[in-house]
Chain A
Amino acid sequence: MSTQPQRGRSAHGPGDEEGADQDVPAAGNVQATQQAQELDGLLDEIDSVLESNAEEFVRGFVQKGGQ
């Protein structure tokens, strides 16, 4: 399968390959920090919408069977 993943990432700039040795660790840290912040934001938002008693919510969700 030769298809390339189509992720929502921006294209790499022209300097990416040459400056790799110097830039990667710093860029990697920035990226990791940014990802951690994004995840924190997501988890906070999830906490703000979900009921705090997870167990009660899950157990309380009982349906009759459908088709």
Chain B
Amino acid sequence: MDRRVYGVETEFGIAHRATAVDGAPSRGLAPDEVARYLFRPVVDWGRSSNVFIPNGSRLYLDVGSHPEYATAECADLLELIAADRAGERIMDDLARRAEQAMAADGLDGTVYLLKNNVDSQGNSYGSHENYLIPRTTHFRRLSTILLPFLVTRQILCGAGRVVTEAEEAGRELGPHYAFSQRADHMWEGVSSATTRARPIINTRDEPHADASAHRRLHVIVGDSNMSETTQLLRYGSTDLILRMIESGVPLGDFELQNPIRAIRAISHDITGAATVQTRDGRELTAVDVQSGLLERARRFVDREGAHHDHLEQVLELWGRTVEAVASGDHSAVDTEIDWAIKRRLIDDVASRGDLGLGDPRLGQIDMAYHDIRPDRGLHHMLVRRGRSQSLLSDERIDAAVLNPPTGTRAAVRGRFLSTARAFGAGHAVDWVHHKLVDRPLEAIMLKDPFETESFRAEALLDTLGDREAVLRELTVAERLDQPVPPALSERYEVTAGSVPPPPVI
């Protein structure tokens, strides 16, 4: 597909530290209790802890009480990254409000939201990517090519991790630095389950679109990324591999004998020297697989042309990152690739304090890298100090908090729910459906994710009143002025004097 719809779902780690009267802060509320405080404004707003919000995304409390944010559908990579970064700001705003609400209840303390994937006990939570693919894509071809790509993709976009204990049966691993957070928590290559089996590719087939035309590829192997440049490489390279699979070009044979053993072996060897066995008996490194695929990707783009504006940047960073792993000189990417940015920080702190990798201070720094609070999170600090590069302006991310992306049906969803709210009309929306409670038979399904305007949705909204005459879109300042979180602010107001029409029975 030349145009693709993308989305990413992030589960956040959550913790509360109570302010101690004397001495050090102590553990405060349990994660599920903090999460309930966190979602109080959401429940007040939407009467549920599972809601679609004006920017078209979905906020919910998932299994195990992980606060989760799913971006709206995006048709452009920077739009996707902006939507994801907006999710961090939305969650951080909720965390600050939770701190205030808890203080009002006599529980002074700090809420931590970490955009990472592991806790200190080995529990894991995810960062799931969705890619719309044509139904015609041959699934066997898809998985034989995509699996080796995803198993080795961690050298491009792993978030890095300080590992303190031996984690692999039969292998003594001392404290070391690994490429990936998630690699140790994958149990299957391809499967329909997520929680029990944790496959790299999830086949649960809920396209949220026309099922005769599309499939939604659900990739759950990725680490949550803090770096915007790493995200560009992550989604951009995956999209390009999918595009090559869809076009039927030969992509070589990198099918792995044991993808799960391979993903762990690669993660735990930061030198990039770990080899994995292919089904036909060759021993390859992750660099071999990635440079083989990258070379084919370059030839493909030379032949077919670039299908979006960021492709050159993706290919350039892809090449430079593979080269950095191959040479062992990570300085070429240590302001752009999460695992390398974090590793440089860990190395600096370790050498200055003469700390071994098993020192808890380094484990704490690993976690704090993913803290989404701007004045406290270490990745934010590295951006301010020029040790991590950005792609997006603050203004663009703030705008993505308030409004939906423009290139997909999320624009219709956002307008629909904000308009219905302005008129005080009961409504329900999800990825596909748009319904006014009073007119259940006229519910609209938008099966084409690229549909940015819907005549039928507009006609349904017209039944609420003369929008042109009475509906006014609020300015950004007016929205930020509302007492609710900005992401939940009303986008329209019905101006005084207007009378909604009586309901038609």
Contact B378 A66 (CB under 8 A): no
Contact residues of A between 14 and 63, Cβ < 8 Å to B: 38-39, 41-43, 45-46, 49-63
A13 interface residue (CB < 8 Å to B): no
* Chain B residue nearest in CB terms to A2: B319
Contact A3 B17 (CB under 8 A): no
B365 interface residue (CB < 8 Å to A): yes
Whole-angstrom CA separation of A49 from B368 in the bound complex: 9
Cβ 8 A contact of B381, one of A46, A55, A57? A46
Residues of A within 8 A of B332 (CB): 5, 7
Most buried by A among B62, B120, B125, B365: B120
Cβ 8 A contact of A6, one of B25, B220, B316? B316
Q: Interface with A: B8-16, B130-138, B146-154, B497-505, which one?
A: B8-16
Whole-angstrom CA separation of A54 from B355 in the bound complex: 13
B63 interface residue (CB < 8 Å to A): yes
Contact B128 A67 (CB under 8 A): yes
Cβ 8 A contact of A50, one of B68, B121, B359, B364? B364
A64 interface residue (CB < 8 Å to B): yes
Residues of B within 8 A of A50 (CB): 364-365, 368
Residues of A within 8 A of B124 (CB): 65-66
Cβ 8 A contact of A5, one of B126, B320, B348, B361? B320
Contact B65 A64 (CB under 8 A): yes
Residues of B within 8 A of A66 (CB): 11, 62-64, 66, 68, 123-126, 195
Residues of A within 8 A of B401 (CB): none
Contact count band on B: 35 or more
Whole-angstrom CA separation of A57 from B63 in the bound complex: 24
Contact A62 B364 (CB under 8 A): no
Shortest B232–chain A CB gap in Å is 13
Contact A54 B363 (CB under 8 A): yes
Contact residues of B between 340 and 368, Cβ < 8 Å to A: 348-349, 352, 359-361, 363-365, 367-368
B323 interface residue (CB < 8 Å to A): yes
Cβ 8 A contact of B27, one of A46, A60, A63? A60
Contact A49 B376 (CB under 8 A): yes
Contact A65 B15 (CB under 8 A): no
A1 interface residue (CB < 8 Å to B): yes
B47 interface residue (CB < 8 Å to A): no
Shortest A55–chain B CB gap in Å is 4
* Chain B residue nearest in CB terms to A48: B376
Cβ 8 A contact of A62, one of B121, B360, B385, B386? B121
Given contacts A1-B320, A42-B385, A51-B17, is CB(A67)–CB(B125) below 8 Å?
A: yes
Residues of B within 8 A of A61 (CB): 13, 15, 112, 114, 119-120, 367
| Chain B contacts to A: CB under 8 angstroms | 11, 13-15, 17, 24-27, 31-32, 62-66, 68, 112, 114, 119-121, 123-126, 128, 194-195, 198, 220, 291, 316, 319-320, 322-323, 332-333, 335, 348-349, 352, 359-361, 363-365, 367-368, 375-376, 378, 381-382, 385-387, 389
| Chain A contacts to B: CB under 8 angstroms | 1, 3, 5-8, 38-39, 41-43, 45-46, 49-67
Q: List 16 A-B contacts (CB under 8 A).
A: A1-B319, A1-B323, A5-B333, A46-B349, A49-B378, A51-B17, A61-B13, A61-B15, A63-B13, A63-B121, A63-B125, A64-B32, A65-B123, A66-B11, A66-B195, A67-B194
New contact pairs (14) apart from A58-B363, A64-B64, A65-B64, CB-CB < 8 Å:
A3-B323, A42-B385, A53-B24, A54-B360, A54-B364, A57-B364, A58-B360, A60-B120, A61-B112, A61-B114, A63-B119, A65-B125, A66-B64, A66-B195
